[in-house]
Structure 1
């Protein structure tokens, strides 16, 4: 099961992982408010978690449970689902996880929150384009071309309507095999990965910036981890 972040959604968010559908019953989810036609709505950690849990609870064949691969904000719903129903989660793969509420008091996360919180506090007074432009400037230190197409404008609105990641009610997931994959480019994500590593997760890095799973090494890390966990589960069941 694949849970996207704030940009592309559904299968489009996982170009390197499409082929996993040949070996697994792969589901490429759409989080709450992500739709190709309907207008975006305010994000909801609870609604995203419910989407993940519904999909885990029934794969259409009466079976239940699966591996979760989640990127950025999608990692929040993945972790919340695993806390609520660890029996349904075979493993967690968290790619550049935006789990800021876990590390809010650590230096890199605290600095990021200090930078971004004033922007989120006025997001409902800003246009979609103005919020997106300032968000990109603060996070990536670059300028973004004005959205032109209908989908680009919907994407700008979705970004403005995302709840701040540091407000997510997150807890550590006990007993669920977890891989954290980061791009090694941003201290914020390395800090989160280090925190999760201290709680038992495996941490790997791969080139690719905020999308390391798009690189050959990152894709290989995702596939190898899920395969290894699957073999271990089969061995315990036999």
Structure 2
């Protein structure tokens, strides 16, 4: 798969930062508050496997996503940089760091969905028990019905509504149905890579993952903002400070 990205900054600017989105918005659109960082860093906003504004979605591929990160850390003659990832994007970020610790100089993970690390802990186990039945039906339900059932389980009364006449919304539904469960990802702890975890303090599962990572040496900050702590003022400040202090 060809690398697909939207970039800001220049090779002559400070250290490279690769931004990896979650399961919603993708590319630069997933990081609206972070665009300003392109004035201080060489920022690349990648698109994970199956996330494309035109092409039909394809099944998620954790290994391919990790390779996209690795490729972008070496783009234009660079040899590594820092990785900022959100939600399910954190899975590929950690996999890339395990494969190429020489390239991943630091990790900043926002509400990381690294659920295979904590699948035996209470909050994550409860989430898996809730969501596994709908994942098991992925090949039997159509895109719209899968989206409805998934959203109802994941978000309850706050479930997102789907407009069946909106082509982009239908593409989003298909993409969601093709996403593999995060708890199936082959994850290992990343040795020796400086790591910060930002959470919103709203969902026990994400706090459980963050606390697990903190027990392995990561720094954990609760900054509010629900599932997007990176968009808060304190979250953005923490990202900027961490990147500045961690760049080589």
TMscore range, shorter length: over 0.9
The alignment's TM-score, normalised by the length of structure 1, stands at 0.94
In structure 2, C-alpha distance between the alignment counterparts of 1:215 and 1:149, rounded to whole Å? 30
Deviation at 1:144, TM superposition (A): 2.5
Instruction: Look up the match of 1:210.
Output: 227
Deviation at 1:152, TM superposition (A): 1.4
Contiguous gaps of at least 5 residues in structure 2: 1-17
Deviation at 1:102, TM superposition (A): 0.1
Q: 2:89 aligns with which of 57, 74, 92?
A: 74
The alignment's TM-score, normalised by the length of structure 2, stands at 0.90
In structure 1, C-alpha distance between the alignment counterparts of 2:229 and 2:85, rounded to whole Å? 12
Instruction: Look up the match of 1:27.
Output: 44
Instruction: Look up the match of 2:198.
Output: 181
SS at 1:86 equivalent: coil
Instruction: Look up the match of 1:49.
Output: 66
Instruction: Look up the match of 1:59.
Output: 75
RMSD, matched Cα: 1.0
In structure 1, C-alpha distance between the alignment counterparts of 2:48 and 2:103, rounded to whole Å? 19
In structure 2, C-alpha distance between the alignment counterparts of 1:21 and 1:118, rounded to whole Å? 42
Report whether the alignment pairs 1:16 with 2:33.
Answer: yes
Instruction: Look up the match of 2:110.
Output: 95
Deviation at 1:50, TM superposition (A): 1.0
Contiguous gaps of at least 5 residues in structure 1: 234-238
Q: Once the two structures are superposed, what CA deviation does each residue of 1:90-129 show, in whole Å capped at 9, x if it has no partner?
A: 1100111010000010000000001111110111111212
Instruction: Look up the match of 1:128.
Output: 143
Q: 2:162 aligns with which of 120, 143, 146?
A: 146
Deviation at 1:59, TM superposition (A): 2.6
Deviation at 1:26, TM superposition (A): 0.4
Deviation at 1:228, TM superposition (A): 1.5
Instruction: Look up the match of 1:108.
Output: 123
